Amino acid sequence: MAPILEIQNLYKNYGSLEILKDINVSIDSGDFLVLVGPSGCGKSTLLNCIAGLEPISGGKLSIGGQDMTNVSPKDRNIAMVFQSYALYPTMSVAKNITFGMKVRGVDQSTQEAKLAQVAQQLQIEPLLGRRPGQLSGGQRQRVAMGRALVRDPMLFLFDEPLSNLDAKLRVEMRTEIKALHQNLGHPWST
């Protein structure tokens, strides 16, 4: 079984600025990897490289055993939750979550079933009709997570998922992310 994510000798430069130097990572399906480091050390850059939002300057990157080094972000089967959440401000919570499925041509009944499932999982059912501006930081965080969850991706990337939350919510979300990880199981390991 190939690792779900394999990074070999990855380099990332911005012009003459060397940001990532010889990064090597290998993680299996069901694994949980946390990147820790001071601000500016390159955590977001690495996530962006994995997601394909930034081209890499050297090395190789495989997902599910497939070379993804030059594959476009939409074809990498990755869901990313950004630090800023990047929700669509004019859309309701429900639309924010289903929009990606709509764009990909997923049929209506599947969209609704998936929405209901993640709304229940993240306990955001009462919020589905609201807009992002009418939500607290923690609620926005959950919506951003819901949007990622309906994707059913091979890999979830979370960029500082706890940084915008107050102390109490931080503890709650930490537990929630852990539960999420356990509940997702290992769908790609067989």
> Site residues (CB under 6 A) for ligand ADP?
14, 17, 19, 37, 39-45
Residue 180 and residue 130 in contact, taking contact as beta carbons nearer than 8 Å: no
| Closest residue by Cα to residue 150 from 188, 117, 185 | 117
Residue 173 and residue 165 in contact, taking contact as beta carbons nearer than 8 Å: yes
**Residue (12 or 114) nearer to Mg ion, CB:** 12
The distance of closest approach from Cβ of residue 125 to Mg ion in the complex, given in angstroms and rounded to an integer, is: 31
d(CA 160, CA 163): 5
Answer with the entry of Mg ion, ligand ADP, none that 40 interacts with (C-beta below 5 to 8 A by kind): ligand ADP
Work out whether 45 is an interface residue with Mg ion (CB under 5 A).
Answer: no
Work out whether 44 is an interface residue with Mg ion (CB under 5 A).
Answer: yes
d(CA 110, CA 116): 10
d(CA 41, CA 173): 24
Work out whether 48 is an interface residue with Mg ion (CB under 5 A).
Answer: no
- Per-residue mark of binding to Mg ion, 128-147 (x: CB under 5 A): --------------------
| Closest residue by Cα to residue 50 from 88, 86, 20, 84 | 20
d(CA 45, CA 18): 11
Instruction: Say which amino acid occupies 65.
Output: G
Which residue number is nearest to Mg ion in terms of Cβ?
44
The distance of closest approach from Cβ of residue 172 to ligand ADP in the complex, given in angstroms and rounded to an integer, is: 24
**Residue (35 or 106) nearer to Mg ion, CB:** 35
Stretch that binds Mg ion, among 36-44, 107-115, 129-137, 167-175 (CB under 5 A): 36-44
**Residue (7 or 94) nearer to ligand ADP, CB:** 7
The distance of closest approach from Cβ of residue 21 to Mg ion in the complex, given in angstroms and rounded to an integer, is: 17
